[in-house]
């Protein structure tokens, strides 16, 4: 397995994985996610051009089998929040045919190393409540629950 910086020429392989995770999220939380579409290509290409974003992929025999995105943020405006640099994981996905093979752990390890070089003191991510497999994965990596995002639909037909 090779982990390297993702490039625009990788977009088709990235789209395959993005479709897998997008479909999973849409099927489980259609109130928050839409079905994967052609718009995803431009979204990924923009993310690949963003110099401030980490965008790594894992490949085996020239096939994209996973990717991770992350960015470093630092609070400079809200006085009651910490001001240390924080690595925020945007997306991590491993091909559904390759899960539980160490790819996700390796992507997270390389991302953690990158975060350290950027001066980050924390790593944060959001995981959907339906995704218990991902929650167990993050638990094994030492992540802890810090907050809970709650949802309520508003009936607009009343």
Show pLDDT as tens, one digit a residue, over the chain (158 residues): 999 999 999 999 999 999 999 999 999 999 999 999 999 999 999 999 999 999 999 999 999 999 999 999 999 999 999 999 999 999 999 999 998 899 999 999 999 999 999 999 999 999 999 999 999 999 999 999 999 999 998 988 77
Please indicate, yes or no, if residue 67 is contained in any of the structural domains: yes
Q: What is the pLDDT of residue 58?
A: 98
CB 59 within 8 A of CB 2: yes
Please indicate, yes or no, if residue 66 is contained in any of the structural domains: yes
Please indicate, yes or no, if residue 154 is contained in any of the structural domains: no
Please indicate, yes or no, if residue 151 is contained in any of the structural domains: no
Q: How many domains does the chain have?
A: 1
Q: What is the pLDDT of residue 121?
A: 97
Q: What is the pLDDT of residue 25?
A: 96
Please indicate, yes or no, if residue 92 is contained in any of the structural domains: yes
Q: How far is CA 64 from CA 6, 45, 95, 138, in A?
A: 10, 16, 8, 22
Give the CATH number for residue 111. Answer: 3.40.630.30
Please indicate, yes or no, if residue 147 is contained in any of the structural domains: no
Instruction: Please give the residue range of the domain that contains residue 125.
Output: 2-140
Please indicate, yes or no, if residue 133 is contained in any of the structural domains: yes
Which single residue is written with the structure tokens 């996905």? 93
Instruction: Strands of 1-141 (E only): list them.
Output: 2-5, 53-60, 63-73, 86-94, 122-124
* Residue 104: HSE in the Cβ half-sphere, 13 Å Cα cutoff: 22
Q: How far is CA 31 from CA 35, 39, 100, 132, in A?
A: 11, 19, 29, 19
């Amino acid at each position: 397995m090779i982990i390297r910086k993702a490039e625009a020429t990788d977009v088709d392989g990235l789209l395959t994985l993005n479709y897998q995770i997008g479909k999973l999220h849409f099927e489980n939380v259609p109130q928050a996610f839409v079905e994967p579409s052609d718009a995803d290509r431009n979204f990924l290409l923009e993310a690949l051009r963003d110099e401030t974003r980490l965008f790594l992929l894992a490949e085996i025999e020239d096939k994209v089998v996973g990717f991770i995105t992350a960015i470093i943020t630092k609070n400079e405006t809200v006085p009651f929040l910490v001001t240390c640099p924080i690595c925020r994981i945007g997306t991590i996905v491993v091909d559904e045919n390759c899960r539980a093979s160490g790819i996700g752990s390796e992507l997270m390890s390389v991302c953690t190393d990158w975060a350290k070089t950027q001066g980050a003191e924390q790593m944060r991510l959001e995981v959907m409540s339906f995704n218990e497999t991902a929650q167990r994965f993050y638990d094994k990596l030492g992540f802890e629950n810090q907050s809970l995002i709650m949802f309520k639909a508003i009936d607009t037909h009343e």
